[in-house]
Structure 1
Amino acid sequence: MMRATLLAFALLLSAPAALADGLLLSTDPDYPGSLLRNRVTRVDVRIDGLIAQTTAYFEFVNEWDRETDAVFSFPLPDDARAVRMLYHYNGVVYEAVLEVREQATNPGTGEGGIAAEINEYLGRNGIRMHLASIPAGEIQAVEITYVETLDADTQTVEYTYPLDTGTFVRHDLDLIEFNVEIESNLEIQSAAILSHAGARTVESGANRVVLKYQESKGYLAQDFEMSYSVVPDGVTLDFYSYLPTGGDHGYLTTIARPDSLADGALPRQVVFVVNNSSRLSAGLGPSVAAVKHALAALKSEDRFNILAYNSTVQTFRSGLVAPSAGEIAAAEAFLDGLTTRNANELETALMRALAEFGSIPEGTSAAILVFTDGRASLDPQEVAVANTQGVGIYPVGTGDVDRARLEMLADLNRGFVTYLGDGENVADGLRRVTDQIGVAVVQDPVFEFTGTEVTHILPAQISTLFATRPVAVSARYATSASGTVTLSGTGASGPVAYATDIDYAQGPEKWFARVLWARAAIDQLEREIAVYGATEALKDSVIALSLQYNIRSKYTAYVADYVNV
């Protein structure tokens, strides 16, 4: 039986504060201006396909006439995990240690003033570390390294560094520098720094580009943004592996990158589920506009229906219908007639949506689009049990959504979560997402490995491969060897398979494969804790992974102990 694809759109209109560069806040309330002056920001970025390793180095000056303690704060991107922090003291470079404790807090009550503003801009994934006894007139250097997976469509990969700190830092810096090294298995068509004029290309080749931006007396007035585009070459597989010296197993990550023109698109069955509760009344208009946009893109072989939910569930039709002109007009009238009511029965709506699908024809991608903030009575595991056809759930959110619940829902149901960017027009963002998931290229994709034993594959279930959305897995493997990786599934013309030869020991420069697997394992456990509550076993597992892989978790923090050189 063909598996369905459930696309869940999570919409919340409140937007968090914008991210910014690293800050160093004195713990002494008498420190003039509160913040130590940032004189240098230097960022080195290495991008391997869709994986970015960022190392940011900062120098802050204690301009006071006496020493002070301070808290370093950095707004780590939501998808990133910090893997190393360094700090300088008396000419010695120390590495922060990871301990089982809460992160350092910014001084003050957190209910007002600059400390509260910094806590807000840090976001859910921010890093904080206490630094002691910074001498008067001296420089405090700090360095942080983190790994993240970048946004990409068929051809274009985008990278953003949170440089905009204009709210807090209004002086110029002695130096702002970015060095970006890009390597791609696909031919690089173009690469450019978009946000800052004056960048130059240091090296340019078919599969490697190096960019540089440097400015003296510059201001932290806007985020650093760059992108590069590649020449599509059908469905391609990026593969990265790392075997630690003396380790008994290695780590791998493989990413399937689609080409929208590769093999055509699968026909779709689509159920749109609109949240018309009073809680999200401001989002009803953009949701309706996005559904209308998606309806206009349906083809004659597609089928659709619409559900609206608050305390009850309203249905446009009793079953899936063809997208004729008459049905589309009636559907738009149904959407225009929706009004808001109290309550938010998300789980009831999802169960009803799943029931809309009968026997799904072979070679068909079925989809359900659900608008919600995720803050409702919803048990992701119960939905997964009811999801007997292997429906993929794809939440899309912005603002203060229940991330853990939506991400767990997606993980258990062959999906992924997309969050709309801060300040993005909601209707335009939702239309962008409906376009992104509108063309299914490979249904029921499965990665298969030869050459060695591959275990602990995360996520256990992966989503449909869409024309503009890569899919990826991370795993562990037993020994160094050569082999193949194959992505197989169902395409528009029947069974498909895409294979490439691989080397399980690519060298230390692919160390990030270890981080990506550990990040996925920690994320999975932390979501379960957030949704269902902590048990000692879950908590111990998170802490063990965090300490073993030096990746901060909800139970651990980086600590400057002035011992670990």
Structure 2
Amino acid sequence: MMNCGLLTNKNEPVPLKSIEVDLQVQGHVATVTSTLQYVNEEKNPLEAIFVFPMPSDAALCHFSAKIADKEIVAKVQEKQQAREEYDDAVSSGQQAFLLEESDESGDVFRLSVGSLPPGQKAAVNFIYVIELSVQADNSLRFCLPAVLNPRYTPAGTGGGIVSEITSTPSGGVPYSLSFTVHVNSPNPITKIESKCSLEPLEFLNTDHTKAKVTLSAGHKFDRDVELFLHYQNPHQLTAIGEAGAPTAKPGTLMGDPVAMLSFYPEFPKSVMSSLASCGEFVFVMDQSGSMACNMHNGPDARSRIVSARDTLLLLLKSLPMSCYFNIYGFGSHYESFFPKSVEYNQQTMDQALERVKKIEANMGGTEILQPLQQIYNQPCIADHPRQLFIFTDGEVGNTKDVLNLVRKNSDLHRCFSFGIGEGASTALITGLAENASGYAQFITGTDRMQAKVMQSLRYALQPAVVDVREVWSGVSTTRLSPPIKTIFNGQRALIYAQLKGEECQKPDAKGKISVQYRLGAEEVTNTLEFSLNPTENSGLTIHRLGARSLIRSLERKEQDEGADKDALKAQVVDLSIQSGVISSHTAFIAVNKGSGQAVKGPMLTRRVPTAMRFGSVPMPKMMRCRGAAMPMMMPCSAPMPKMCGMAAPMLLRGGGAPKPKMMFDMAAVQPQSGLFGMSECADSGMDPETPKDPLLQLISLQKALGCWEMGSTLAEVFGKTEEELVKQIPAQVDPGVWATLLALIWLHGFQMDAQVEWQFVAMKAVAWIQTQKVVTLAECVQAGNSLLGCQVTEDALGI
């Protein structure tokens, strides 16, 4: 069994001792400060390389290191220049630190800790700012990533900094995590929740607008730390102004004030109930080996691929008649259910369901680029807008290439993306949705995939806010964030703008912004007044988030054909250096120039293997790489004869070789049982005779038109016999109508907690019953209630 930490000759861990994280929340924005404590207990100087995940929409804005009593604050430089300065410093015996973004993905960073002498201690500190995402229940979500899944590197593309892995059992991780949260909100805080254990919430004032909470003692950083913040009046439209830095030149981004507008439109009930009956729905399912991993480590855990199969069943049953659909599975190669999208009817639905039953996590690596190219090469269907649903655990090495392809085809479709399991790439999942006017969801822990997917299907079928326009009054502005294309119900947009002109210098000056948009057939205008003379804020959080937004827009433009790449790169580098926000073209470099003794003895490079959730499986020698890592978990509980999923890599500078496909070949791993009754994964901890989910069993029996047929399997769902159902049919009522009414009554009587999952199948059922013109409907509902033991009214059924 491998140990963890920087390893001595006696196989003892050495350097990373602790991680301290401080989270400062201001309304919808957070500042995150992380401190990593290192010590070199070996007899030789060493170089550790630490790869760690960060939310893709974060703005990394500070990096420093304290060695003994001397603090070195990093500066932002052009990336190649920073690398050369780092190499020069290390070779001359100076202590140096280099922090840079991965070339493959914007949510992965590499920290090189160079030339740490024997016995030397070092504390590494970095700060980033981030927007908190809005959840379906109006809470705000913050996630501290612990998991960095392996990024599959397609053959022929070369290896990058995330292409090799080391891992170790989570119980052996020798470093600790301290996590403290301070919340300051304009509106009262009602509660703070987490899937991790928290100490009791401590309110710091009487009106509950300030609070503090910490992780419970003994927490092991083997999973993402998620927080959900609940405020009163969460839909309130707000504008926040922030004064520029006093030392920055007026007229520059950091010298002028910046405003952030939170735009959170409300949808009337008439719009919420309006659903489209057309569209081309293309479902793209990850079938790589890592999808055999479990969703979580609880006793009732099911594999990702089993949850995906059940979700596809639910989607197929929920589609409107006469739409078009297709399903793609991908891994090292891809397959489609049909040569092109087909019209949705009973026959095509049945054909697709037979294929869904056979879906397994047996297609090798994770190459999503080719199936997307094939989909975009297919001509769009007239009057059927294309809606793309992508399911993946996000283990992709060529994220930027994938996002560039999606963006080039953004006018042809909307993309709804789903990150499955902890460690899914935030850059990939959020980028897919952002670049194609869709919506991103992350499914972790005990989350039900079906509920989140059906929420996105509702977004795809409902009208959305479009044609968003902004009119500023009383001030000149330069927009920092990209134009808003689409907003769905429950979705928030943040708008950043640099405020210019003499008006900003006048005391008590006010500015006004009007946001105009179209929702269905209605034209709507929201107007808000805000101060042009904001209070100075030394943190410059809003400035940096605005800079981050503009930097990302410029980086995307670099991918356009005919773009002046050199000019755009120069803009990015200038803006990055000015704001202190790292970019794809810059890096943080810190050098202790007072340490200049030549290195004595060979420079050692060591690894800190990462946390593995279940048991220990020694890795093949070819997979053991050098470097150091943050504590990450192994997100897989399936047997690992062929290395299904591994945690965050730590490696030598210069990257690694392309990953062998055998790493993700899960053909030897048997899938778990789901709705379709397949065999169990050997050590999943589940009983092979686990009962089928009655809700999904009921849904699986529904016909494409929306009705159910009488039968013994349907009766089994209700806990009855077919004879009992038939015996209670009211006079002159068709058995199909009776069966469909019973299904609706059962859903409303016993499955209201899961209504978001069955809402569309129920709507189809209601529409079908209305076409049957049942004369004795009230009598049928009463008889159904009596048979099933419910008290559901006709109004509740919506008939």
For the criterion TM > 0.5, the same-fold answer is yes
Native 8 Å contact 1:273 1:370 kept in 2: yes
Against the structure 1 CA distance between its residues 134 and 473, is the aligned structure 2 distance closer, same or farther, given a 3 Å change threshold?
farther
Question: What count of residue pairs does the alignment treat as equivalent?
Answer: 500
The equivalent of 2:529 in structure 1 is 501
- Per the alignment, residue 261 of structure 2 pairs with 254
Q: Percent identity?
A: 15
Q: Sort the Cα spacing of 1:357 and 1:457 in 2 relative to 1 into closer, same or farther, 3 A.
A: farther
- The 1-side partners of 2:20 and 2:187 are apart by 28
Distance 2:426 2:211 in 1: 35
Q: Identify the residue that residue 350 of structure 2 maps to in structure 1.
A: 333
Residue 315 of structure 1 deviates from its aligned partner by 3.2
> 2: CA distance between counterparts of 1:159 and 1:377?
24
More strand by share: 1
Q: Secondary structure at the match of 2:574?
A: helix
Q: Does 1:489 align with 2:520?
A: no
CA distance in 2, matches of 1:280, 1:73: 23
Q: Could you tell me which residue of structure 2 aligns to residue 82 of structure 1? A: 60
| Structure 2 counterpart of 1:50, from 6, 21, 28 | 28
**Secondary structure at 1:548 match in 2:** helix
User: C-alpha displacement at 1:272, in angstroms?
Assistant: 0.6
**Amino acid in the other structure paired with 1:368:** Q
Q: Which residue of 1 aligns with 2:698?
A: none
The one-letter code sitting in structure 2 at the alignment partner of 1:454 is: T
Q: Which amino acid aligns with 2:314?
A: H
Which residue of structure 2 lines up, in the alignment, with residue 195 of structure 1? 196
Per the alignment, residue 183 of structure 2 pairs with 182
Q: Is the 8 A contact 1:69 1:134 kept in 2?
A: no
Does residue 36 (structure 1) correspond to residue 15 (structure 2)? The answer is yes
Separation in 1, partners of 2:24, 2:425: 32
Report the CA distance between 1:228 and its aligned residue.
1.3
CA deviation map 1:19-45 (0-9, x unaligned): xxxx9858xx7696454141x433221
**1:61-76 mapped onto 2 (5 Å cutoff):** 61-64=39-42, 68-71=46-49, 73-76=51-54
Structure 1 pair 527/560, CA: closer, same or farther in 2 (3 Å)? same
Q: 1:512 to 1:213 in 2, by over 3 A?
A: same
Alignment of 1:167-316 (within 5 A): 167=169, 170=172, 176-203=177-204, 208-213=209-214, 219-232=220-233, 234=235, 236-237=237-238, 239-245=240-246, 246-248=249-251, 249-258=256-265, 264-265=271-272, 266-268=274-276, 269-275=278-284, 289-290=310-311, 293-294=314-315, 304-308=323-327, 313-316=339-342
Is the CA contact (8 Å cut-off) linking 2:403 and 2:432 kept in structure 1?
A: no
User: Are the aligned partners of 1:407 and 1:527 in contact in 2 as well (CA < 8 Å)?
Assistant: no
Q: Indicate conservation of the 8 Å contact 1:71/1:130, yes or no.
A: yes
> What's the secondary structure of 2:576's corresponding residue?
helix
Could you say which structure has the higher helix fraction? 2
The correspondence of residues 68-467 of structure 1 with structure 2, limited to 5 A, is 68-71=46-49, 73-101=51-79, 124-134=107-117, 136=119, 138-154=120-136, 155-162=138-145, 167=169, 170=172, 176-203=177-204, 208-213=209-214, 219-232=220-233, 234=235, 236-237=237-238, 239-245=240-246, 246-248=249-251, 249-258=256-265, 264-265=271-272, 266-268=274-276, 269-275=278-284, 289-290=310-311, 293-294=314-315, 304-308=323-327, 313-317=339-343, 329=346, 332-336=349-353, 344=370, 346-347=372-373, 349-350=375-376, 354-357=380-383, 368-371=387-390, 379-380=405-406, 383-384=409-410, 387=412, 392-396=414-418, 413-415=436-438, 417-418=440-441, 430-431=453-454, 433-435=456-458, 439-440=462-463, 442-460=465-483, 462-467=484-489
> TM-score under structure 1 normalisation?
0.71
Separation (CA, whole Å) in 2 of partners of 1:72 and 1:378: 28
CA deviation after TM superposition for structure 1 residue 556, in Å: 2.4
Within 2, Cα distance between the matches of 1:281 and 1:226? 26
TM-aligned CA deviation for residue 232 of structure 1: 4.5
1:441-470: CA deviation from partner (whole Å, max 9, x where unpaired): 53333333323122234212x243222322
Q: Secondary structure at the match of 2:172?
A: coil
- CA drift of 1:86 comes to 1.5
Aligned equivalent of 1:12:
none
Alpha-carbon distance, 1:54 to partner: 0.2
- For the structure 1 residues 276 and 290, does the alpha-carbon distance in structure 2 shift closer, same or farther, using more than 3 Å as the test? closer
Judged with a 3 Å threshold, the aligned counterparts in structure 2 of structure 1 residues 227 and 467 are, in CA distance, closer, same or farther, namely same
Shift of 1:97: 1.9
Pair 335,370 (structure 1): closer, same or farther in 2 beyond 3 Å = same
CA contact (8 A) 1:232 1:259 kept: no
Task: Report the equivalent of 1:3.
Answer: none
Counterpart-to-counterpart distance in 1, 2:215 and 2:131 = 25
In structure 1, C-alpha distance between the alignment counterparts of 2:238 and 2:67, rounded to whole Å: 45
Are the aligned partners of 2:198 and 2:213 in contact in 1 as well (CA < 8 Å)? no
Q: CA RMSD in A?
A: 4.8
Contact 2:55 2:107 in 1 (8 A): no
CA distance in 1, matches of 2:10, 2:459: 50
Q: Would the alpha carbon gap of residues 295 and 464 (structure 1) be closer, same or farther in structure 2, given more than 3 Å must change?
A: farther
- Match for 2:552: what amino acid? D
Q: What amino acid maps onto 1:445 in structure 2?
A: V
C-alpha distance in 2 between matches for 1:196 and 1:169:
17
Q: Mind listing any 5+ residue stretches in structure 2 that lack a counterpart?
A: 91-101, 148-166, 292-303, 329-334, 393-398, 595-799
Using the TM superposition, give the Cα deviation of residue 91 of structure 1 relative to its aligned residue in structure 2, in angstroms: 1.4
Structure 1 segment 512-527 matched on structure 2, within 5 A: 512-527=541-556
Give the Cα separation in 1 of the matches to 2:407 and 2:442: 22
| Structure 1 residue 201 displacement after superposition | 1.2
Change (3 A) 1:442 1:200: same
SS in 1 for 2:547: helix
1:464-479 matches, within 5 Å, as: 464-479=486-501
- 2:776 aligns with none
Larger radius of gyration: 2
Partner residue, 1:551: 581
SS at match of 1:468: coil
